[in-house]
Amino acid sequence: MNSLKDKKALVTGGGSGIGKAIVRELAAQGAKVLIHYYKSKESAESLAAEVRASGGDADIIQADLSSESGVKELSRFVEGKWRNLDILVNNSGDLVARHKLEEMDMDFYHRVMAVNLDSNILVTRAMIPLLRKSGTSSIVNLASLAGRKGGHAGSIIYATTKGAILTLTRSLSTELAPDGIRVNAVAPGLILGSAFHAIHTTQEVKDATIASIPLHRAGSCEDVARAVVFLASEYDGFITGATIDINGGVYMA
């Protein structure tokens, strides 16, 4: 459909899972996509090659988003490549591991906060000047059903960071609206095909969760990607400060 033809999009954590699906959907709509990765270089390179083979425009960049110096390097790369930015998708994040509050140390706490919240704030802050240059631009944050409901046992800090992302989205939408920058979020539930649930969710929990979903199925990475691209593509639109829940009806705000 090319609804995003020649728009410039940065997807953090774009080399695998939900991020990969978002990259594919953005590219299918005509966007030029910069795929950020931290460790998954081979996957990111393969995805970029796939996009280019289909006639799209994709490049990759490695950066540690929990580090101010890493984010500054990313920002310099984006500015040097494009001068401005139309779409920022803050997709990077991880549960890291399941630890109940009594079991965790502060090093673990700070690591989860850095991966999920600090990185979002650092990247967004660095990209605001580039987004502002576009006149009308969009930020889409990846939150989670855990941020709505609190998550399963052992995910307390992850759920806390995702709840913070929901609040951050609303606050930033007000702060950045005068600059023509819309800020929205998606909050996925059980999404099969993502590394998160492949690593951190047992089959027993997956089965029980699916049984409780009114639509009687788990979500897919593509379900999330379509919602992200909808929010990203509504240029000069009226949607900002919103969160789309993608959970099959388990939770409705």
CATH number (domain holding residue 99): 3.40.50.720
Q: Write the pLDDT tens digit of every residue in 87-131.
A: 999 999 999 999 999 999 999 999 999 999 999 999 999 999 999
pLDDT for position 185 = 99
- 251 belongs to a structural domain: no
- 58 belongs to a structural domain: yes
Beta-ladder partners of 60: 35
- 29 belongs to a structural domain: yes
pLDDT for position 70 = 98
Q: Which residues contact 198 (CB under 8 A, 6 or more apart)?
A: none
Q: Write the pLDDT tens digit of every residue in 12-36.
A: 999 999 999 999 999 999 999 999 9
Q: Write the pLDDT tens digit of every residue in 141-173.
A: 999 999 999 988 889 999 999 999 999 999 999
Bigger pLDDT: 2 vs 213: 213
- 70 belongs to a structural domain: yes
Give percent above pLDDT 70 in the chain: 96
- Residue 82 has phi, psi (to 5 degrees) of -125, -25
- 249 belongs to a structural domain: no
Q: Pick from 173, 186, 188: which is nearest to 237 by CA? A: 173
Strands 87-90 and 57-62, how do they pair? unpaired
Range of the domain at 49: 8-244
- 82 belongs to a structural domain: yes
- 1 belongs to a structural domain: no
Residue 206 pLDDT > 90, yes or no? no
- 3 belongs to a structural domain: no
Distance CA 142, CA 158 (A): 12
Catalytic residues: 158
The domain total for the chain is 1
Which of the four pLDDT bands, split at 50, 70 and 90, describes residue 208? confident
